A = this chain, B = another copy of it.
Amino acid sequence: MTENEILKNAFGHLGQAGNIVLPPGHDCAAVETAGGLLLIGTADQLIEGIHYEKGTAPAKIARKLLARNLSDIAASGGAGRLFALCTVALGGEEDCGKWFGQFFRALGREASRWKVSVCGGDIARNARNGNTVLALSLFGETSRKKLCRRSGARPGDILFATGEFGNSFKSGHHLDFTPRLEEAEFLSGRYTNTMIDTSDGLLLDAGRIAEASGLGIRLDTAMIPFRKGATLESALGEGEDYELLFAVREERSRALTRNWPFRTSLTPVGSFAKIAKGSIISSDGEDLLAKFAKGYDHFGGGK
């Protein structure tokens, strides 16, 4: 059973209240408060031995933990000031005081860089022989106008990508990437409301916005920007790129390219089409999901 399937089943058990604007299954949840504000929230975890190697410096772990969650906030269109709650079950024979000192110093530094207030949480020693497991949740205010979903692409829309793809693990990119919050702030509501971040691999994540939009994607693999050392296979399927994929109306795409104010690269990598829902086809008609997608499924399933 894949994570997607488990989650689909699981969320079936959870009653959906009327004030949930973005339900489970998106990068962030969005809810409306009684006071009429739109809040977005997300929670993600890091597991020693899965998301980072044993022995990774606490500062790098802190950075990735926050950035991973910020990438989800970016994919939902961004938010104003964010609040974070952090939990840590510390494993191994680490010196608690030293470990937490380094961890929180780095978390504080990264948090102020991104205007995140770390306002609470819980720390504990894991059980004997347990590994370190961390979770962080973020919540903040956004606007309906800026809120991005996975759905909403139309036939002919251009699929754009920020940054580069592939070779994330070996290059260390997965530990020190920059979440695309500024880019999302620029894009959301102005050029797109259909966006996702690529944590599970370009193909799997592109497939998700295609599926949610009821369309397929024609992907121009020759256009995909590679990270140093990347192969086409790793660029399409390895994951942990934490770049943004988003749909832009064809008539707006030239203005976007012209007005793009960032050093981060911006590349049109394909277009949405009325082909099999959720499919991704190469320029010469090959089914890319079938050929390449291994993605990153935490339950070993793949799509």
Q: Mark A41-59, 1 if CB is under 8 A from B, else 0.
A: 1111101111000000000
Q: Are B139 and A43 closer than 8 Å at their CB atoms? A: no
Q: How far is the CB of A83 from chain B (nearest CB, A)?
A: 5
In the assembly, what is the distance between CA of A24 and CA of B31, in Å? 24
Assuming the contacts A19-B81, A47-B89, asked whether A24 and B119 have C-beta atoms less than 8 A apart, the reply is yes
Copies held by the complex: 2
* Interface residues on chain A, size class: 35 or more
In the assembly, what is the distance between CA of A7 and CA of B124, in Å? 11
Report chain B residues within 8 Å CB of A41: 83, 85, 119-120, 139
| A-side interface mostly | mixed
- Interface residues in A3-57 by Cβ distance below 8 A to B read 3, 5-7, 9-11, 13-17, 19-20, 22-24, 26, 28-29, 31, 33-35, 37, 39, 41-45, 47-50
Chain A residues close to B by CB (< 8 Å): 1, 3, 5-7, 9-11, 13-17, 19-20, 22-24, 26, 28-29, 31, 33-35, 37, 39, 41-45, 47-50, 80-81, 83, 85-87, 89, 96-97, 100-101, 103-105, 107-108, 111-112, 117-131, 133, 135, 137, 139-141, 298-300
Given known contacts A39-B39, A43-B120, what 9 new A-B pairs fall within 8 Å (CB)? Answer: A5-B97, A9-B101, A10-B103, A24-B119, A29-B120, A41-B119, A47-B130, A87-B135, A125-B300
Identify 6 residue pairs between A and B in the complex whose beta-carbon atoms are under 8 Å apart, listed by A's number.
A14-B107, A31-B119, A39-B39, A41-B119, A47-B89, A124-B298
